[in-house]
Amino acid sequence: MLKTRGYAADSPVSNLKPFNFERREVGARDILIEIQFCGICHSDIHQVRDEWGGSIYPMVPGHEIVGRVAQVGADVKKFKEGDFAGVGCFVDSCRKCENCADGFEQFCLKQAAQTYNSTEMDRKTPTFGGYSSQIVVDENYALKISDEENLAGIAPLLCAGITTYSPLKRFNAGKGQKVGIVGLGGLGHMGVKLAASMGAEVTVFSHSPSKKEDARKLGAHNFVITKSPEDMSPLAGKYDFILDTVSAEHDLNMYLNLLKRGGAMVLVGVPEKAAEVSAFSLIVNNRTLAGSGIGGIAETQEMLDYCAEHNITSDVEVIPIQKIDEAYERTLKSDVRYRFVIDMKSL
């Protein structure tokens, strides 16, 4: 077994602290990644604090992982030692069900093995995430990182990047379309960058006037203060697509009414309370309300390659692991532009 250093939570109310554990030895199809950076996702906080229920402790969070390949198994084809690789939200799946066969491993019918707060497919061995020195993963569930110049900025692409890329691609966001991005946080800022790169006319909807200049720098063409009725009312029926990234309670109908005929709104944020949706908000103009959850391995690799080609990375604030609890509190206050990333050399 491989002795590994990490940071873990022992309970929903404990701070994260140093934690030593063991990874499996590198198998024939495995690679060992020396983790250099790991992003902090809001879902890390939800799960550490057991806000979604069912959390497993001790918990080593982290599913936005990038680093250098230090060892490869005898049968590995995709990677060699010295390559850079990433790991996203899951590390295995059944590989046989309809969803896995179709490239939607994240929706494995036997439940994918999540990168942390989960178990391997044996349903016994706990998984520990990227707030750690190294990780062993089957090469088929690792992603190739082609540009190691800004690994810290690439790390959040493994979750925030694919979470926003997938629905934009699915609904054909691009030239000639008006696209709205609701919320300008870790997800929203990636949505703006990606939608703008695809050629769409991008509007950011935010309750924070202070983010107007940021939105423009990220590529947005318009900025709307959501608490201003005079700004919102003229926009009814104007948008082809809206990506809602907000995880706080808010009125979905207000945004649905901005969609034109046949328009779609996709939810990627997860508010604690279930939202109320008026049937008329969907019936009028034949609108669609949908959801989207990360992406499969092939689509995530496609996203990474797209971002490398278009020079897209996340805007990050890099911190040492010792500031993790402070970073959690700042994340809850939206006091980061726009994603915290842990420099694992500090471990």
Query: Whole-model pTM above 0.75?
Result: yes
Residues ≥6 apart with Cβ < 8 Å to 7: 16, 17, 18, 19, 60, 131, 132, 321, 324, 347
Tens of pLDDT along 179-201?
999 999 999 999 999 999 999 99
The domains found in the chain, sorted by start residue, are 2-159+314-346 (3.90.180.10), 161-291 (3.40.50.720)
Tens of pLDDT along 12-63?
999 999 999 999 999 999 999 999 999 999 999 999 999 999 999 999 999 9
3-state secondary structure of 83: coil
> Residue 143: which pLDDT band, with cuts at 50, 70 and 90?
very high
Tell me what the pLDDT averaged over the chain comes to.
Answer: 96
Residue 314, pLDDT score: 98
> Residue 147: which pLDDT band, with cuts at 50, 70 and 90?
confident
Comparing 1-5, 24-28, 128-132, 224-228, the range with the smallest average pLDDT is 224-228
Is residue 139 within 8 Å of residue 79, measured between CB atoms?
A: yes
- The rounded Cα 66 to chain-centroid distance in angstroms is 14
Find where tokens 């707060």 sit.
Answer: 117
Helical ranges in the chain per DSSP H: 42-48, 98-101, 151-154, 160-170, 186-197, 212-218, 229-232, 252-256, 279-283, 297-309, 324-332
- The rounded Cα 291 to chain-centroid distance in angstroms is 14
- The amino acid that residue 149 corresponds to is E
Residue 140, pLDDT score: 98
Tens of pLDDT along 231-274?
898 999 999 999 999 988 999 999 999 999 999 999 999 888 88
- Both tokens of 313, joined, read 């990375």
Residue 253, pLDDT score: 95
Residue 159, pLDDT score: 97
Torsion of CA 305, 311, 312, 314, to 10 degrees: 110
Residue 138, pLDDT score: 98
* Residue of 122, 107, 130 whose CA lies nearest to 59: 130
Mean pLDDT in residue range 111-139: 98
Residue 280, pLDDT score: 96
The b/e string for 97-119 (b: 16+ C-beta within 10 A; e otherwise) is bebbeeebbbbbeeebbbbbbbe
Residue 142, pLDDT score: 98
Residue 195, pLDDT score: 98
- Both tokens of 214, joined, read 């940021």
* Residue of 339, 294, 293, 340 whose CA lies nearest to 158: 294
> Residue 153: which pLDDT band, with cuts at 50, 70 and 90?
very high
Q: Please state, in angstroms and rounded to a whole number, the distance separating the CA atoms of residues 129 and 294.
A: 17
- Both tokens of 203, joined, read 């509007």
N residues, the chain: 347
Exposure of 271 in the CB half-sphere (CA atoms within 13 A): 14
Residue 149, pLDDT score: 84
Is residue 341 within 8 Å of residue 155, measured between CB atoms?
A: yes
Residue 230, pLDDT score: 83
DSSP assignment string, 178-233: EEEEE--SHHHHHHHHHHHHTT-EEEEEES-GGGHHHHHHHT-SEEEETT-HHHHG
Tens of pLDDT along 112-124?
999 999 999 999 9
Q: Please state, in angstroms and rounded to a whole number, the distance separating the CA atoms of residues 301 and 184.
A: 24
Residue 293, pLDDT score: 96
